[in-house]
């Protein structure tokens, strides 16, 4: 018997998919159950929704108990969006200005060193996804807070901001990367990810430390008249150092130069793909992608939609740059950014 799902149910289901907080997910699940037609054909769906509501309610209650029992340190930032990228750099390198230019946040910006004393999270929009940028205090061997390396744990990537207008850029860069080396933090650029035209460094550095993050270098304040000269000096130093080979994006928050290129590069930094689902006989919702790791398969997408759909996966029809329209693909089909899949299961 068909479920005959109502528009109210589909709207609540969409809110559940987009929700990030457990409280939002719980409210959407409860609305889904209320809007679900009650007949024999939906008995399994009703039971599944009740289980998910109970599980989510437990998550909400446990979160509330944990918050009440023990307040987390101020430097721990909960992940949001499709990825978390830490913004690093020496003092007065332009980190906060860059975060403000890429997001709607208004971080404190000052001419004096160490204006940023705690992590400052903000959401950057890239096309139809949100990426979390976290502005961290400056990197310095003597003056950085002791918790800074711990605050980076679990991040999906890093941006190192270097002020190309500063005559002391070489010394400041050495101090920043010296801090990272002291903390056994390795930055690298995965060879399978898309490259940008320019980079610094001669050889790739493998991620062999406890804390390893894919990263890029941003040359900020590039509107300065002598920026090109300083950049060449930086490149010369980088070639003879042990710094990793990293993509370089020249930017200017004042003129807006290359900020869009930087958004694209940050997206590539995450190593993700966006995939859209298409219910049979309906159009895909291109505003709400599933975001998966590069290399994920059609079966991984099915599990991301729902564990039962993954367990009963049969085949999928795919629309994308590597397929012809409605091409039938199996569970091992490797997803490409922008793919649309119509998943079929045995249920």
The domain that contains 170 carries what CATH number?
3.40.50.300
77 is a domain residue: no
User: How does pLDDT run across 7-35, given as a tens digit for each residue?
Assistant: 888 888 888 888 888 888 888 888 888 88
Q: How far is CA 315 from CA 74, 143, 341, 344, 345, in A?
A: 46, 56, 10, 5, 7
Give dist(CA 167, CA 224) in Å, integer: 11
Q: What pLDDT was estimated at residue 332?
A: 95
Number of domains in the chain: 3
Pair (207, 142) in one structural domain = yes
- 70-106 burial, b at 16+ Cβ within 10 Å, e below that, comes to eeeeebebeeebbbbbbbbbbbbbbbbbbbbbbbebe
> Which of these three, 270, 292, 312, is where a domain ends?
270
103, 239: one domain: yes
pLDDT above 60 (res 206): no
* 93 and 218, same domain (yes or no): yes
- Which pair of structure tokens corresponds to residue 216? 């890029």
What pTM was computed for the model? 0.74
The pLDDT, as a whole number, for residue 331 is 93
C-beta of residue 105 within 8 angstroms of C-beta of residue 99: yes
Q: How confident is the model at residue 112 (pLDDT cuts 50, 70, 90)?
A: very low
* pLDDT computed for residue 130 by the predictor: 94
Range(s) of the domain holding residue 19? 1-71
Q: Is the pLDDT of residue 115 over 90?
A: no
The whole-number average pLDDT for the span 304-332 is 93
State how far the Cα of 78 lies from the Cα of 9, in Å rounded to an integer. 30
Point out the domain boundary residue: 49, 71, 93: 71
Does residue 342 surpass a pLDDT of 90?
A: yes
134 and 259 co-located in one domain:
yes
Between 336 and 34, name the one with better pLDDT: 336
| Average pLDDT value for the chain | 86
Same domain, 247 and 129: yes
**Is residue 54 located within the same domain as residue 94?**
no
| DSSP one-letter code for 56 | H
Is residue 285 domain-resident? yes
CB 292 within 8 A of CB 301: yes
- Residue 76 domain flag: no
**pLDDT single digits (tens) 137-171:** 888 877 778 888 888 988 999 999 999 999 999 99
Shared domain check, 115 and 34: no
Tell me which of 222, 245, 270 is where a domain ends.
270
> In angstroms, rounded to a whole number, what is the distance separating the alpha carbons of residues 341 and 347?
17
Q: Are residues 45 and 193 in the same domain?
A: no
Tell me the pLDDT tens digit for each residue of 162-197: 999 999 999 999 888 888 888 889 898 887 676 666
Burial class from Cβ neighbours inside 10 Å (0-12, 13-18, 19+) for residue 227 reads buried
Asked whether residue 65 carries a pLDDT value surpassing 80, the answer given is no
On whether both 88 and 165 belong to a single domain, the answer is yes
pLDDT for the residue 209: 62
Let me know the angle formed at the C-alpha of 43 by 39 and 46, rounded to the nearest 5 degrees.
Answer: 110
152 and 180 fall within a common domain: yes
Give the model confidence (pLDDT) of 258-302 as tens digits: 999 999 999 999 999 999 999 888 888 888 899 999 999 999 999
Spatial neighbors of 5 by CB under 8 A, at least 6 apart, are 36, 37
Percent of the chain beyond pLDDT 70? 89
Shared domain check, 254 and 290: no
Given this model, what pLDDT does residue 144 score? 77
Clarify whether residues 25 and 127 are in a common domain.
no
Nearest to residue 90, comparing CAs of 198, 151, 166?
166
Q: What is the CATH number of the domain that holds 295?
A: 3.10.20.30
pLDDT of residue 1: 43
């Amino acid at each position: 018997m068909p479920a005959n799902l109502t528009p109210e149910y589909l709207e609540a289901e969409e809110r559940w998919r987009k929700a990030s907080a457990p409280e939002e997910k719980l409210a959407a699940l409860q609305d889904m159950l209320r809007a679900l037609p009650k007949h024999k054909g939906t008995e399994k769906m009703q039971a599944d929704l009740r289980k998910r509501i109970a599980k989510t309610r437990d998550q909400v209650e446990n979160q509330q108990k944990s918050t009440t029992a023990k307040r987390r340190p101020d430097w721990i930032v909960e992940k949001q969006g499709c990825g978390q990228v830490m913004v690093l750099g020496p003092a007065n390198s332009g980190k906060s200005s860059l975060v403000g230019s890429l997001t709607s946040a208004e971080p404190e910006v000052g001419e004096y060193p160490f204006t940023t004393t705690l992590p400052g999270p903000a959401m950057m929009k890239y096309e139809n996804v949100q990426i979390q940028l976290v502005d961290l205090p400056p990197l310095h061997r003597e003056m950085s807070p002791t918790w800074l390396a711990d605050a980076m744990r679990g991040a999906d990537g890093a941006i190192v901001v270097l002020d190309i207008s500063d005559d002391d850029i070489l010394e400041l860069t050495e101090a920043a990367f010296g801090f990272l080396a002291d903390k056994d933090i390795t930055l690298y650029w995965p060879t399978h990810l898309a490259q940008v035209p320019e980079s610094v460094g001669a050889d790739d550095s493998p991620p062999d430390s406890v804390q390893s993050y894919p990263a890029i270098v941003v040359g900020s304040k590039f509107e300065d008249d002598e920026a090109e000269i300083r950049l060449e000096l930086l490149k010369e130093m980088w070639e003879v150092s042990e710094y990793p080979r990293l993509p370089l994006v020249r930017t200017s928050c004042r003129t807006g130069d290359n900020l869009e290129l930087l958004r694209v590069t940050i997206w590539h930094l995450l190593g993700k793909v966006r995939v859209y689902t298409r219910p049979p006989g309906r159009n895909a919702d291109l505003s709400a992608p599933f975001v998966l790791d590069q290399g994920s398969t059609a079966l991984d997408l099915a599990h991301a939609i729902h564990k039962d759909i993954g367990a009963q996966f049969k085949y999928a029809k795919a629309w994308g740059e590597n397929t012809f329209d409605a091409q039938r693909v199996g569970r091992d089909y490797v997803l490409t950014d922008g793919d649309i899949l119509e998943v079929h299961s045995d249920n």
